[in-house]
C-alpha cells in the first residue's frame, strides 16, 4: 500500500427515514457554510440532532457522507433535467435545457460544484471514495445517455457519436465551464457559452 492510499472503510449501513435525511441535509448546510474541509462530524451531529457516534456508525467517514450528499443532490438534479428534456422538440431545445441547467447551478448552488471537486481531490488519495465517485459518475452519464438516446428514437435529434460518449463530453464541458465560471465570477461568459453551444451542436443535430 502506498503512502497516499488509505485502507477502505466498511460499507455504510442502511439508514432510512427522516433521520437519514436530517443528517444529509445537515452536512449539505455545513458545506455551504464552512466548505467541505471545514465541515466536521461534530458540526453535522449537532445540527442534525444526533450523536457523533451515530454518524460514524452509519457512514464511517466524512468522505462517505459527502458522497451521499452529492449522490442525493445529483439524483434531484438529474430528475429535473429529465423533466425539462421531456419537453424538448429540437436539438437546439435540448442544448438550451443543458445550458440553462448549467447557468442555474453556477448561479444558485456553487457549493455543489465545489463539493464535487473536493470529492475528486479526496478520491485521488482514497480508493474507496474513488470507486464511489466513479459509480456516481457512471450512473449520471448513463441516465443522460438514455435520455439522449430516447430523443434520437423519437426523431428529435441525431447523435454524432454513441450516447454515452456524447453524455461524457457534455458533462466534461459542464464541469470545465462551471469551474472557470466560479473561478472568475466577474467575467462575462456569454461568448464562451455560445462557443460551447457550437461544440455541442456538432454532437447534437436535428434529425
* 3-state SS string for the chain: CCCCCECCCCCCCCCCHHHHHHHHHHHHHHHHHHCCCCCCHHHHHHHHCCCHHHHHHHHCCHHHHHHHHHHHHHHHHHHHHHHHHHCCCCHHHHHHHHHHHHHHHHHHCHHHHHHHHHHHHHHCCEHHHHHHHHHHHHHHHHHHHHHHHHHHHCCCEEECCCHHHHHHHHHHHHHHHHHHHHHCCCCCCHHHHHHHHHHHHCCEEEC
pLDDT in tens, 80-122: 999 999 999 999 999 999 999 999 999 988 888 888 888 888 8
User: Averaged over 34-42, what is the pLDDT?
Assistant: 84
- Average pLDDT over the chain reads 87
- Reported as a pLDDT band with limits 50, 70 and 90, residue 9 is very low
- Reported as a pLDDT band with limits 50, 70 and 90, residue 10 is very low
CATH, range 12-60: 1.10.10.60
User: Averaged over 149-173, what is the pLDDT?
Assistant: 96
CATH, range 67-206: 1.10.357.10
What pLDDT is attached to residue 60? 85
Residue ranges per domain, the chain? 12-60, 67-206
Amino acid at each position: 500500500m502506498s503512502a497516499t492510499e488509505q485502507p477502505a472503510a466498511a460499507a455504510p449501513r442502511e439508514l432510512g427515514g427522516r433521520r437519514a435525511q436530517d443528517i444529509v441535509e445537515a452536512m449539505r448546510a455545513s458545506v455551504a457554510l464552512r466548505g467541505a474541509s471545514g465541515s466536521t462530524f461534530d458540526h453535522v451531529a449537532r445540527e442534525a440532532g444526533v450523536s457523533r457516534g451515530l454518524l460514524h456508525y452509519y457512514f464511517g467517514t466524512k468522505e462517505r457522507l459527502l458522497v451521499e450528499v452529492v449522490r442525493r443532490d445529483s439524483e434531484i438534479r438529474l430528475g429535473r433535467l429529465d423533466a425539462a428534456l421531456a419537453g424538448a422538440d429540437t436539438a437546439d431545445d435540448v442544448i438550451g435545457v443543458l445550458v440553462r441547467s448549467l447557468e442555474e447551478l453556477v448561479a444558485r448552488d456553487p457549493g455543489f460544484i465545489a463539493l464535487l471537486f473536493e470529492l475528486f481531490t479526496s478520491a485521488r488519495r482514497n480508493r474507496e471514495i474513488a470507486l464511489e465517485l466513479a459509480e456516481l459518475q457512471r450512473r449520471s452519464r448513463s441516465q443522460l445517455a438514455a435520455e439522449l438516446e430516447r430523443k434520437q428514437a423519437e426523431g428529435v435529434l441525431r447523435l454524432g457519436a454513441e450516447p454515452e460518449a456524447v453524455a461524457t463530453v457534455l458533462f466534461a464541458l459542464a464541469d470545465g465551464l462551471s469551474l472557470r465560471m466560479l473561478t472568475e465570477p466577474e467575467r462575462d461568459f456569454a461568448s464562451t457559452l455560445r462557443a460551447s453551444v457550437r461544440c455541442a451542436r456538432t454532437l447534437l443535430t436535428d434529425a
